[in-house]
Chain A
């Protein structure tokens, strides 16, 4: 930040925020899908 109160740079924080968002959303979606498929497999609805 300069003396003018304007923040300069900071792209690393922007990429970090978007990266964390993508990682958590994709990770959680994969986890739900995997648990759903495993549960259906237990019932014999889906072949392993």
Chain B
């Protein structure tokens, strides 16, 4: 199969980069003046945030292309990007809570950045749940694409929330807002997370495509007798 090993290569490369970047961030990078060692959480938190937003932006693009072209491959990619995006966004909230406790004194606060991110997790998570309840593949693709486009409106709100409203959360982390001493572990982990995210989306999209093929082909021959015998009154 062409490119069969691509997800494994991306996952392995991503893992290697994450190990290297995390080692640098944990043991080699200097301690931050005010936050001390707790700031080292940034080296996983910020790359997770960037890649969660990227995965959901890819989901948005897949949703638009799925609606425009009606090609089931874009629906498979949408499903993959949604699941990976929701997983990374949920992980982002957990990392943020762990960082918030020693710096803000609380695990959670209904701050604009945190609240809009929680809305993001629930909105895109709800689309994944919706997909489980729709049997018709065409309706499922259309409804989830429309819902993903609507839910995506929250992504720029999450990004700009720290500028638009008074927020406990610091402004967006970028090379301009982060000391040069912290750049390299942050960049290495950002690329590591990018490869992991891309590998997971590629593999998950292949899984979704296999399920689509099975759905279109109908039940497998081996599964057919079991379905028949499970029907009410069957075998009576």
Residues in chain A within 8 A of chain B (CB atoms)? 1, 5-11, 13-14, 16-18, 20-21, 24-25, 28-29, 32-33, 35-36, 39-40, 42-43
Contact = CB atoms under 8 A, between A and B. Distances in A.
Interface in B1-59: 11, 22, 26, 33-38, 40-41, 44-45, 48
B207 A35 contact: yes
B37 A32 contact: no
B87 A11 contact: no
Interface stretch (B99-107, B141-149, B154-162): B99-107
Contact of B200 (A6, A21, A29): A29
A24 B52 CA distance: 14
Nearest to A21: B44
B158 to A, nearest CB: 19
B106 to A, nearest CB: 13
Contacts of B94: 20, 24
Contacts, number: 82
A47 to B, nearest CB: 15
Contact of A7 (B11, B44, B103): B103
A8 B200 CA distance: 37
A7 B45 contact: no
Given A5-B34, A14-B40, A32 B207 contact: yes
Contacts of A24: 87, 90-91, 94
A17 B128 CA distance: 26
Majority DSSP secondary structure for residues of A touching B: helix
Given A14-B37, A14-B41, 7 more contacts: A7-B35, A9-B36, A9-B37, A29-B200, A39-B207, A39-B211, A42-B214
B137 to A, nearest CB: 16
B210 A40 contact: yes
A18 B26 contact: yes
- How extensive is the interface on chain B, given as a class? 35 or more
Contacts of B102: 1, 7, 10, 13
B204 interface: yes
A17 B206 contact: no
Interface in B184-204: 196, 200, 203-204
B203 A20 contact: no
B207 A36 contact: yes
B8 to A, nearest CB: 9
User: 10 tightest A-B contacts by CB?
Assistant: A10-B38, A17-B41, A36-B207, A17-B98, A7-B36, A39-B210, A10-B102, A21-B44, A24-B91, A14-B40
B36 A6 contact: yes
A45 B52 CA distance: 32
